[in-house]
Structure 1
Amino acid sequence: MAVISTGPIENSPVNGVRPTQQVTIKMVNRDSVNSATVLIQGYFLNGSRTLYVLEEVLLTPNEVATRNHYANFDAFEFVFTTSGPAEESTEISVWGRNESGQLISSQRLVSDEQLEE
């Protein structure tokens, strides 16, 4: 079982609007035979760490899955727990999106950049 975290992501308002309104999570299972499970935990950070997303995703062989979650907070964090036979073949990326749905390049994390706990 691997636990991967984005770490805390600052999302303070600029001119009254937070840069990221929504987070897109892409998960890919590159194993051609085995499945993997990804537990998604999303927290908003406001002096305390409060869980607001709790979702488990089963990735079949060669499957790509996308999840979108609200992220209009001053700070947030996502933690991913991967398990199953294809755990080592599973990769995750996280992308911030603004109010019009455009990607926020400063708030994107690919699997090599995430913190293992």
Structure 2
Amino acid sequence: MPYLTTGLSDNALIGGVRQSSTLSVNISNDDTSTVAIQVEGFFQSGTTKVKYVEEFFTLTAGTVVLKNYFIPFNAFEFIFFVSSQAVKVSVWSKDDTGNLTSIHVEVAEASV
């Protein structure tokens, strides 16, 4: 099963304010059949990654879902396990008012 990762993203406080409060994830199924998707979210505590999101769902052919996750941490990472190469994942970070932030989150395919 292919998986995609944001890698570890920095979200430190700047002037006492968190850069991003929400991670918006757009997942589209461009396949001709239903796919399975697992989302895992982690925050970093010292040198340890701590899982705080674990979600499993299916997505029918040709559909799109938007998920929002709170990210009140100095560093975070999300991993997306998908059952098809035809699944597309886009990720944006937003501030408290819903504006896109300067944190640029890229989703890259990870090698097993």
TM-score, structure 1 normalization: 0.88
Aligned to 1:60: 60
Q: C-alpha deviations, 1:43-87, integer Å up to 9, x for none?
A: 01121100000001211000100110110100000011111xxx0
2:30 and 2:86 map into 1 onto residues whose CA distance is: 5
Which is helix-richer, 1 or 2?
1
SS in 2 for 1:107: coil
Partner Cα distance (2:2, 2:109) in 1 = 11
Matches within 5 A, 1:91-110: 91-109=88-106
Kindly provide the amino acid, as one letter, of the partner of residue 114 in structure 1. Answer: A
RMSD of aligned Cα (Å): 1.2
Q: Report the counterpart of residue 20 of structure 1 in structure 2.
A: 20
Count of equivalent residues: 110
CA distance in 2, matches of 1:51, 1:60: 27
- Give the distance between the partners of 1:42 and 1:61, measured in 2 at CA: 25
8 Å Cα contact 1:41/1:55 also seen in 2 = yes
Runs of 4+ in 1 over 4 A off after TM superposition: none
Gaps of 5+ in 1: none
Structure 1 residue 90 displacement after superposition: 0.3
Instruction: Note if contact 1:26-1:93 (Cα within 8 Å) is conserved in structure 2.
Output: yes
Q: CA deviation at 1:38?
A: 1.1
Listed as ranges, the matches of 1:1-117 within 5 Å are 1-31=1-31, 33-47=32-46, 48-83=48-83, 87-109=84-106, 113-117=107-111
